[in-house]
């Protein structure tokens, strides 16, 4: 009797595990590039981003701790986290929640490179705005790699400061999000 219960439990767990389509990672990367012709330093990355991808529903999401962005210049990092910029003590995270709108164009069971249309909401600095972008999804064996690039208008999120007005920081920085799901 005990062996039968254990066998059924293992079959149930195996079925449950294979039914799960949600992939997650805690090592996605966001690259923030606000460089201008006047200043090449406003560039940072964050390599500890939490990301998820549900291959069944097309839901995608990421969450990034603002203080985890690193700049080559420590002073730049201090300004970035300060109250005149990201105010990371008050607004600790940036999040995105969205969906692949052309999910049928992506075959997660077949190796290949696919373009996925993504729409969702980016929440940053206490403001949430809709974002539409295209992601490249590469399926190779059991690994799914995703990359997307988009720009945001800092003013739309209430982020402004002297460096932006002086042209040292781009008013529309480029954002890249890279995630590998294994």
Look up residue 134 and give its two tokens. Answer: 């295209």
Q: Which residue has the higher pLDDT, 95 or 40?
A: 95
Domain ranges of the chain: 22-181
pLDDT of residue 126: 97
pLDDT digits (tens, 9 = 90+) for 19-67: 448 999 999 999 999 999 998 889 999 999 999 999 999 999 999 999 9
Q: Can you say whether the dihedral through the CA atoms of 75, 80, 85, 87 is positive or negative? A: negative
Q: Which residues pair with 125 in a beta bridge?
A: none
Give the C-alpha separation, 118 to 102, whole Å. 8
pLDDT of residue 41: 86
Mention the CATH class of domain 22-181. mainly beta
What number of residues does the chain have?
A: 182
Give yes or no for residue 77 having a pLDDT over 80.
Answer: yes
Q: Can you say whether the dihedral through the CA atoms of 130, 96, 24, 17 is positive or negative? A: negative
């Amino acid at each position: 009797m005990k062996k039968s219960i254990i066998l059924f439990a293992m079959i149930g767990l195996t079925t449950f595990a294979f039914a799960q389509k949600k992939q997650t990672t805690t090592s996605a990367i966001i690259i923030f590039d606000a460089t201008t012709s006047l200043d090449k330093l406003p560039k940072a990355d964050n390599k500890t981003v939490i990301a998820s991808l549900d291959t069944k529903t097309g839901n995608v999401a990421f969450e990034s701790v603002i203080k985890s962005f690193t700049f080559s210049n420590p002073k730049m990092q201090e300004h970035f986290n300060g109250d005149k910029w990201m105010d990371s003590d008050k607004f600790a995270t940036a999040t995105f929640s969205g969906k692949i709108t052309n999910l049928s164009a992506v075959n997660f069971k077949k190796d290949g490179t696919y373009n996925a249309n993504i729409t969702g909401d980016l929440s940053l600095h206490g403001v949430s705005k809709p974002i539409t972008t295209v992601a490249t999804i590469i399926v190779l064996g059991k690994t799914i790699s995703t990359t997307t690039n988009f720009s945001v208008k800092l003013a739309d999120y209430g982020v402004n400061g002297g460096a932006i007005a002086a042209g040292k920081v781009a008013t529309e920085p480029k954002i890249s999000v890279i995630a590998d799901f294994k």
